[in-house]
Structure 1
Amino acid sequence: MLPLPKPGLDARTVFTTCTATARPETLRARLQDLKDHVAKAAVEYETAAAGQALHTLGHLQHQPDGKPPPTAGGINEQLTKTYKSRMVPKRSSGRDFYDQLLSEAPDGRCALCGQGLADTLDHQLPKTAYPLLAVTPANLVPTCRDCNFYKGEQAPATAEEQTLHPYFDGHVHDYVWLTARIAGPPEPAISFHATPPPDMPPVWAARVLRHFTTLKLARLYNPQAGLELRSLSRSLHRLPPKEIPEHLRERAADWAEENPNCWQAALYRGLAESTWYAEEGYKEPWH
């Protein structure tokens, strides 16, 4: 997860702009009558997110209509369409907000996995269950399509079921929880794991595990690590053997400065801790 600053966009302004072009006029008036409700829900959302308590917003589910699923043509369906039809499409009234949120992705990368191309926005709380939050900026995170798909439409029932939130959960990186295990000999292999340390608060630890498994991060990181290891092997062959352990430690520290829980930092930590790799493993073909 890549920490991001909370968007500076005002939820009421975004909603009012997105609904300004709704047709017919009666629908537009009905939607804009909800702007106070949307603004209030946005404040509640930010307070809950800051306290790792999005699961406590059950009273906002399926509001204002109050019943799932959205009735065809009903107000809840029109609220979700505010995102799908009035924010996402090119030239729509809210497209500038969509582009602005997407542009906040660091180096264009997905804020949930840190690896994929951020080419869509994910609703941290799903718009189908929380239509009042459909265009709330703090609920919209720049992500890749895979993470958006894997995360799906599930709403957390407990704090432990909540995936990490890039706008509110940056403190999770005060702990080192992503690890890489180096296997060998005889066959060299690497695997990534979420391994919360003992001093990590239990809710944080549960959320880290939830995030890692929900987004299938092990499957994402393993192929990238194989490419890195093949390149690394070539460079290590040019170093005196006694310098290899220190080189691996330095690379781990360099990547940890970027993000202590990026896969590269975890990879180099694992390699630096493996005596076998520093002495023999780097000579082996990694696939």
Structure 2
Amino acid sequence: MEDKLRPLYLSYFMGAGAGCNITADKPFRVKYGAKLRAAYKKTYEGKQLYWLRTELLAVAGNRCPSCGGARPVTLDHHLAQTPFPEFAIFPLNLVAMCGPCNQHKSASTGKTIATAFIHPYIDQIPTVSFFAPTVTRANGSYTVSFTFTPAAIPDAMLAGRMERQLKRVDFNKALLPEVGELLNELALRIEREIVQPNGGVIDQPLIEAYLHANADRIEEQHRVGFWQAIMSRALANEAGFCSGGYRDLLARSPT
């Protein structure tokens, strides 16, 4: 089985993890599929392969590679175990993902390149900003939403795949709790780190500079165009927020 898996694993890599690029080895699936699916169950807590799960979760860190927001708590089979049992315990096929994204992705196998989910280990996403933010102030609070800008991605096919995936996982809905948490955090930090040390004076240019510097720090930690950095810059450019509107959020922030 190991000897036969090696060329199958190579074909997976050469096919960029897209089901439409991989030739099925049906006799292998019939003979070994059930054993490999059973082996995957050994990645559960307390089982022999639990170390594999913990290492893959560590690779993702604290950000789901699909939505970029929620914490990854599950392992997704990039190519589903049915009909691809040969990749059931192939580390390259196992992606740490948040629960909602895993559920939205479901058993997607990439029957065509256009419908294939982005492979976080193989596909190369350009280091550019591809979200346009919208800051809304209503009902005594702020919200921030994002619109994907496909023109920022040079590869039209890749841009189409990204746009399709972001719609499928409902990107803004997935980020909603994270956006709210970050808004509260920024409001507290502005008040305590900028305004209070300044004698309680709201210095708008100082707050704007703080938010831009915060965006630079986030991009250095994550990547260019990460949604948190885009959000911080959008708030820096929002005069109402920087001139005191951020205080709308303080009553909603934990102390």
Q: Following superposition of structure 1 onto structure 2, how do residues 200-239 of structure 1 map, counting pairs within 5 Å?
A: 200-237=154-191, 238=195, 239=202
Q: Following superposition of structure 1 onto structure 2, how do residues 175-186 of structure 1 map, counting pairs within 5 Å?
A: 175-184=128-137
> Relative to 1, partners in 2 of residues 1:180 and 1:136: Cα closer, same or farther, differing over 3 Å?
same
1:43 and 2:43 matched: no
Cα pair 1:221 1:263 within 8 Å, conserved:
no
1:265 and 2:229 matched: yes
Distance, in Å, in 2 between the alignment partners of 1:191 and 1:152 is 25
Cα pair 1:123 1:134 within 8 Å, conserved:
yes
Give the secondary-structure state (helix, strand or coil) at the position aligned to 1:59: coil
Partner amino acid for 1:225? V
Partner amino acid for 2:237? E
Look up the match of 2:213.
Answer: 250
C-alpha RMSD of the superposition: 2.9
Q: Following superposition of structure 1 onto structure 2, how do residues 10-25 of structure 1 map, counting pairs within 5 Å?
A: none
Identity of aligned residues (%): 24
Distance, in Å, in 1 between the alignment partners of 2:54 and 2:153 is 39
> Relative to 1, partners in 2 of residues 1:249 and 1:132: Cα closer, same or farther, differing over 3 Å?
same
Give the secondary-structure state (helix, strand or coil) at the position aligned to 1:64: helix
Distance, in Å, in 2 between the alignment partners of 1:104 and 1:256 is 18
Distance, in Å, in 2 between the alignment partners of 1:198 and 1:110 is 22
Cα pair 1:249 1:269 within 8 Å, conserved:
yes
Partner amino acid for 1:266? I
Partner amino acid for 1:79? L
1:54 to 4, 8, 18: 18
Distance, in Å, in 2 between the alignment partners of 1:232 and 1:98 is 33
> Relative to 1, partners in 2 of residues 1:139 and 1:229: Cα closer, same or farther, differing over 3 Å?
same
CA displacement, residues 96-144 of structure 1 (integer Å, 9 cap, x when unaligned):
43343333332x5434334433333211111111111111111111223
Look up the match of 1:7.
Answer: none
Look up the match of 1:31.
Answer: none
> Relative to 1, partners in 2 of residues 1:185 and 1:206: Cα closer, same or farther, differing over 3 Å?
same
Look up the match of 1:274.
Answer: 238
1:78 and 2:51 matched: no
Give the secondary-structure state (helix, strand or coil) at the position aligned to 2:75: strand
**Shift in Å at residue 199 of structure 1?**
4.9
CA displacement, residues 17-47 of structure 1 (integer Å, 9 cap, x when unaligned):
xxxxxxxxxxxxxxxxx33332111101111
Partner amino acid for 2:55? Q
In structure 2, stretches of 5+ residues that fail to align are 196-201
Partner amino acid for 1:91? K
In structure 1, stretches of 5+ residues that fail to align are 1-33
Give the secondary-structure state (helix, strand or coil) at the position aligned to 1:266: helix
CA displacement, residues 20-77 of structure 1 (integer Å, 9 cap, x when unaligned):
xxxxxxxxxxxxxx3333211110111121xxx71433522x73367xxx8xxx7433
Cα pair 1:150 1:215 within 8 Å, conserved:
yes
> Relative to 1, partners in 2 of residues 1:140 and 1:235: Cα closer, same or farther, differing over 3 Å?
closer
Partner amino acid for 1:217? F
Number of equivalenced pairs:
240
Cα pair 1:248 1:269 within 8 Å, conserved:
yes
Structure 2 length-normalised TM: 0.79
Structure 1 length-normalised TM: 0.71
Give the secondary-structure state (helix, strand or coil) at the position aligned to 2:145: strand
1:138 and 2:92 matched: yes
1:88 to 34, 40, 44: 44
> Relative to 1, partners in 2 of residues 1:136 and 1:200: Cα closer, same or farther, differing over 3 Å?
same
Give the secondary-structure state (helix, strand or coil) at the position aligned to 1:172: coil
Look up the match of 1:9.
Answer: none
Distance, in Å, in 1 between the alignment partners of 2:33 and 2:228 is 43
